[in-house]
Amino acid sequence: MPVRSSVPAQGRQDAGVPSVPGSRLAAFQVAKIGNRLVRSS
């Protein structure tokens, strides 16, 4: 969608990456757990 690409901030929110530090930390933890699951399997 051209509208989204023209609005980076909104695109970031749609991608699930909020600017709130706590949420970013939580997302990082989830990513770490996801990587472990991928490696173990």
Task: State the Cα–Cα distance between residues 33 and 7, nearest whole angstrom.
Answer: 31
pLDDT band at 1 (very low <50, low <70, confident <90, very high): very low
Task: State the Cα–Cα distance between residues 37 and 28, nearest whole angstrom.
Answer: 14
In the prediction, which pLDDT does 17 show? Answer: 54
pLDDT tens-digit series, residues 3-32: 444 545 544 555 555 566 677 788 888 889
Token pair for 5: 């690409």
